[in-house]
Structure 1
Amino acid sequence: MAELDQTALSQPAQADTQHTARVIADDADAIAAARALAQRLGKEAAVRDRERRLPHEEIEWFSQSGLWAITVPKVYGGAGVSFVTLTEVVKIVAAADPSLGQLPQNHYGLVDVISLTGTDEQKRYFFGEILSGKRFGNGFSEKGTKHVLDLKTRVRRDGDDYVVDGTKFYSTGALFAHYVPVLGLDDDRKGWLAYIPKGTPGLIVIDDWTGFGQRTTASGTVVLDSVRVPASNVFPAHRVSDFPTLNGPISQIIQAAIDAGIAHAAIEDTLTFVRTRSRPWIDSGVERAADDPLTVREIGHLHIQLHAADALLERAARTLDAIAAQPEVSEDDVARASVAVGEAKVLTTEIALLASEKLFELAGTQSTLSEHNLDRHWRNARTHTLHDPVRWKYHLVGNYYLNGVKPARHPWN
């Protein structure tokens, strides 16, 4: 049965001014925290997937670790980690459990929206909330529209407040969130983001996600029925695309890091199974599956593809870091960033799908038994990589290098 968040009937949660979550100090601290968390998350990841057991406890471990706050700027008390570190953190967590790795993907992008468009007062308030362990979900996409930016949700000004009406889907993290940022259009069709506290009257979050992969993200429905939001919680989202910013490439590089994490996990499970359970093919003339020359060849190919994807991912992150360090970001900078991330996204998508499919070919029939639940890697890879079509990444990259066409500025580039 779908899980309905009935807290919509209660009063909005009050701000917590105390730092209850651990505060990450720097990049090295973030990597260490991610590795420690991944050890905990990985232990029952397969069971959570098989039983579709929503990770209410595990997500508390995650946000209390301080990792959800690592992109808060240093001037506001955060670690302000590099994009190289951010992608590595996401990849580490996603390798342990890609559903949990996906939950903060929109959160990090929403932190960037605050940095780009918020007033100093808004930044101090919301960055304080994040540092205390608060989480953002999302209410962006909708079903049944012409395309992803054809939004029916409306955000209209009413006195000192805004009023939000609409229905969202693919709302990853909303069920677990302290705030559900909702994207809607005003009468001039400009985009606004309303950061709606959990418990606000008229906000209803429904767990009706039935995707065969990423099962525990609860990426279902958010209903907004005349939801009243104070103006201090509303941000001009249109500005992140109206002007050159890195918000789109940031969103995309996090997606790519999740896919890279899935690939790492699939290859690790392939190695373990081949070493400990698989049998060599009868014509190979060897005693162990790990010595089968054709299997060895395929393992080599997978690692070459994986390392190429990792390298392009790191290269893209370093590109973002270099651009972010500049006094201003130009249209050319954003285009260069989008192309670098697009190249990485192609390879992380392809290795996630290849590795999760090759697992069965190399490990053998026994690997398909439900007790191992190894199909979760392919289900997760196939589901998550549908976020945006990689065929358009090839077009984006080719059009840039051949015709000098800059990618359109939006969250999918």
Structure 2
Amino acid sequence: MTKHEPLKTPVPPVARPIGDPHIIQSDAEAIAVAHKLAAEFAKGASDRDRNRIWPQEQLDAFSQSGLWSINVPKEYGGPGLSYVTLNRVIAIISEADPSLGQVPQNHLGVVAAINTVSDPAQKALLFAEVLRGTRFGNAFSEFGSKRAVDFETKFTDDGDHVRVTGRKFYSSGALLAHLVPIVALDDEGRAWYAIADRGAEGLSVIDDWSSFGQRTTLSGTVILDNVKVPKTHLVPGYKGYESPSADGAIFQVIQVAVDLGIARAAIADTKDFVLHRSRAWVDSGLDHAAQDPYTIQAVGDLNLRANAAAALLDIASAAIDVAVANPTVETVAQAQIATAEAKVLSTEIAILATNKLFELAGTRSTLAEHNLDRHWRNARTHTLHDPVRWKYAILGNYYLNGVNPPFHAWS
């Protein structure tokens, strides 16, 4: 494993793993595989965070396990599993290492979008890529625009392919991806996914992600200089928002699973520290920190809130399954509302649990040797996605005034 300091020079593409990946056969198998991987991923998670070690070996194991193709439909050879299972998988992986939990988020979202908007020939082509282990990165967001929805990256028609020029940031997963979906506008201002080869001429990924949290999400800047993308790989993403679809909720709900995983990891480390390292307070008259009634109450509260967030995640995922099967204005709005509720609760428990860890475990838990601050750093960084103050507004307007949520990729 190699420590990586952020660099300003382009990172070369990586080779694909050798051999075909596994194809998951059932929901139960997906959960079992996730637990097995998580046990391995947890072993080096703190060190990878501390030293910013790219999880290339872990990422290869993850994508080869079959968990990156679980929402490929059955009719195209995939498992076609529920979003309930998909998000339980992401929460399990994120508890072990939330950077690894976040990396496939846009990959899975793009798979969902392809299922919504692509024609059968394009689905067959791109789903075959996913089933043979191809990892999608992303080049969606732009750093200097006024709002997240404002894109300056455009493509031009050039025969059997298009040419894409622009600059992207927050490109989670792009460093070690095999294909990079780029959000680019056509002449009519419509947003497409132009799915470029990671090694395409003119496509450069810069390792300049310097956030204090989610440090190994393989993000950074993507520079696009007249990048050639075949029209077979030009996906009309805008169609997912011309009529009711669950595409936006799917991108959102995976974020919930990551935050839940962070919270669970912090709670687990809190309990471990209190049981084995913390001292009882001087005025308590107790022998062990775990006997402190205030600590017992607080740990109970944390677990209660985490369990509530997990329940809302399941409810939101089930609503998304309904909306995918029957996309109507009503089913999509219900999926969006359930996802917003889950996002609020998962954000709150992630921040609460990662703060309470130090309060309950005591001063020695702040020592650098434990690296427990990574939980708070990860929670504080990741929960900035799609601010929950706007989720409250969406929920209130829906329940009070009967106004459906805004219909876009951030809601």
Instruction: Give the structure-1-normalised TM-score.
Output: 0.96
Q: Partner residue of 2:341? A: 343
Aligned equivalents of 2:407 and 2:120: distance in 1? 25
Letter in 1 for 2:384: L
The CA distance in 2 between the partners of 1:180 and 1:3, in whole Å, is 19
The reply on whether 1:411 has 2:409 as its aligned counterpart is: yes
| Alignment partner, residue 304 of structure 2 | 304
Residue 366 (str. 1) matches residue 364 (str. 2): yes
| 1:61 corresponds to | 61
Q: Counterparts of 1:6 and 1:380 in 2: how far apart (Å)?
A: 24
- Please give the alpha-carbon distance, in whole angstroms, between the structure 1 residues aligned to 2:122 and 2:188: 24
Unaligned runs of 5+ in 1: none
Trace 1:86-125 onto structure 2 (pairs within 5 A). 86-125=86-125
Identify the residue that residue 79 of structure 1 maps to in structure 2: 79
Structure 1 290/6 Cα, relative in aligned 2: closer, same or farther at 3 Å?
closer
1:14-413 equivalences under 5 Å are 20-326=20-326, 329-413=327-411
Structure 1 segments (4+ residues) deviating >3 Å: 3-8
Q: Is the 8 A contact 1:208 1:218 kept in 2?
A: no
Distance 1:3 1:68, change over 3 A: farther
Alignment partners' CA distance in 2, 1:6 and 1:42:
26
Q: Deviations over 1:336-394 (max 9, x none)?
A: 11001100100000000000000000000000000000000000000000011010010
Q: Deviations over 1:302-345 (max 9, x none)?
A: 1111111111111111212233333xx11121111100110010
Q: Distance in 2 between matches of 1:395 and 1:297?
A: 31
Are 2:11 and 2:175, in contact at CA under 8 Å, matched by a contact in 1? no
CA contact (8 A) 2:245 2:324 kept: no
Distance 1:200 1:350 in 2: 41
Quick one: which amino acid aligns to residue 376 of structure 2?
Answer: W
- Partners of 1:71 and 1:4 in 2: CA distance: 35
Task: Report the secondary structure of 1:205's partner residue.
Answer: strand
Whole-angstrom CA distance in 2 between matches of 1:366 and 1:239: 53
TM-aligned CA deviation for residue 19 of structure 1: 6.2
User: Distance in 2 between the 1:374 and 1:87 partners?
Assistant: 25
C-alpha distance in structure 2 between counterparts of 1:410 and 1:176, whole Å = 28
Aligned partner of residue 406 in structure 1, secondary structure? coil
Residue-by-residue CA offset, 1:265-323 (whole Å, 9 max, x unaligned) = 00000000000000011111110000011111111111111111111111111212233
3-state SS of paired residue (1:217): coil
Q: Kindly tell me the number of residue pairs found equivalent between the two proteins.
A: 406
Mapped contact 2:207–2:218 kept (Cα < 8 A): yes
- Across the aligned residues of Structure 1 and Structure 2, the Cα RMSD in angstroms comes to 1.6
Code of the residue aligned with 2:96 in structure 1: it is A
Q: Which residue of structure 1 aligns with residue 3 of structure 2? A: none
Q: CA deviation at 1:408?
A: 1.2
2:322/2:331 contact within 8 Å kept:
no
Q: Could you say if the C-alpha distance between residues 108 and 54 of structure 1 is closer, same or farther in structure 2, counting changes exceeding 3 Å?
A: same
Q: Is the 8 A contact 2:245 2:323 kept in 1?
A: no
Measure the CA separation in 1 of the matches of 2:205 and 2:302: 40
The runs of 5 or more residues in structure 2 that have no matched partner are 1-5
* Cα distance in 2 for residues equivalent to 1:156 and 1:109: 25
1:170 deviates by: 0.1
> How much has 1:146 moved relative to structure 2?
0.4
Q: Does structure 2 retain, via aligned residues, the 8 Å contact 1:193–1:234? A: yes
Q: Secondary structure at the match of 1:93?
A: helix
Question: What CA deviation, in whole Å up to 9, does each residue of 1:14-41 have, x standing for no partner?
Answer: x99x961111111111111100000110
Partners of 1:107 and 1:4 lie apart in 2 by 25
Deviation at 1:7, TM superposition (A): 4.1
Q: Is the 8 A contact 1:26 1:80 kept in 2?
A: no
Give the SS at the match of 1:320.
helix
Distance in 2 (CA, whole Å) between partners of 1:379 and 1:201 is 36
- The counterpart of 1:2, out of the listed 4, 7, 11, is 7
With the length of structure 2 as denominator, give the TM-score of the two structures.
0.96
